[in-house]
Amino acid sequence: MAWVTEPGEAGPARDVEHEHVAREERAVPTAAASGPVSHQLFRAARLHRMLAGYLLRDLGLHRGQELLLMHLWDSGPARQTELIEVLDSDSPTMTRMVQRLEKAGLVERVPDPTDGRASLVSTTAASETLRRQIEQMWHDLEVATVGDLTPADLSPVLATLGRIEANLAKAVARIRLTP
């Protein structure tokens, strides 16, 4: 990375290499000209996912695995079908995720006491050690995401993102209901 401080500036160094990339990506392709919000949201989400992936890699996790652990920490043991629904996943992906976390010693599958055919996924004591690191990772991701935005800046951003999420959820529900 090329970090520089402009001559005569007393402020923090800037990441010039990545500033250049960000400047280049600001132009909306002509094919996306009718969707500038979608294009901006796509670009921001891509970079957010990328950074999250880098931070999770340091913990030995892949994206999504921390969400599964966080759900189990908050809600307790769950069937894979519940995890699929909560994390908006599919059965093969969830099976692989649980198997990887199980192999790492972070979750275990136990028989469901109410249904002998099913099993519950639960966290292990080893996952509790990782919990603090995941909390710190989410803090670091938030700091990087928010940057120098103030609480006053964030309030309307969060409200708008909530509305965008609701709009997208309605669109996805309509598509899922269409035969």
Spatial contact of 23 and 97, defined as CB atoms under 8 Å apart: no
Residue that wins the pLDDT comparison between 107 and 11? 107
- How would residue 148 be classed by pLDDT, with cut points 50, 70 and 90? very high
Does 69 map to a domain?
Answer: yes
Does 136 map to a domain?
Answer: yes
Q: What is the mean pLDDT of residues 143-172?
A: 95
Spatial contact of 49 and 63, defined as CB atoms under 8 Å apart: yes
Does 153 map to a domain?
Answer: no
**What are the beta bridge partners of residue 123?**
107
Does 27 map to a domain?
Answer: no
Take residue 126 and report the two structure tokens written for it. Answer: 């080893």
Take residue 94 and report the two structure tokens written for it. Answer: 């969830």
Kindly write down the DSSP assignment for every residue of 83-143, as one continuous string: HHHHTT--HHHHHHHHHHHHHTTSEEEEEETTEEEEEEEEE-HHHHHHHHHHHHHHHHHHH
Does 156 map to a domain?
Answer: no
Residue 129, CA distances (Å) to 67, 106, 141 in order:
16, 10, 19
- How would residue 26 be classed by pLDDT, with cut points 50, 70 and 90? low
Does 98 map to a domain?
Answer: yes
Tell whether the model's pLDDT for residue 53 goes beyond 50.
yes
- How would residue 10 be classed by pLDDT, with cut points 50, 70 and 90? very low
Considering its fold, how many domains does the chain have in total? 1
Question: Domain containing 73: what range?
Answer: 37-146
Does 120 map to a domain?
Answer: yes
**CATH code of residue 128:** 1.10.10.10
The confidence score (pLDDT) of residue 177 equals 83
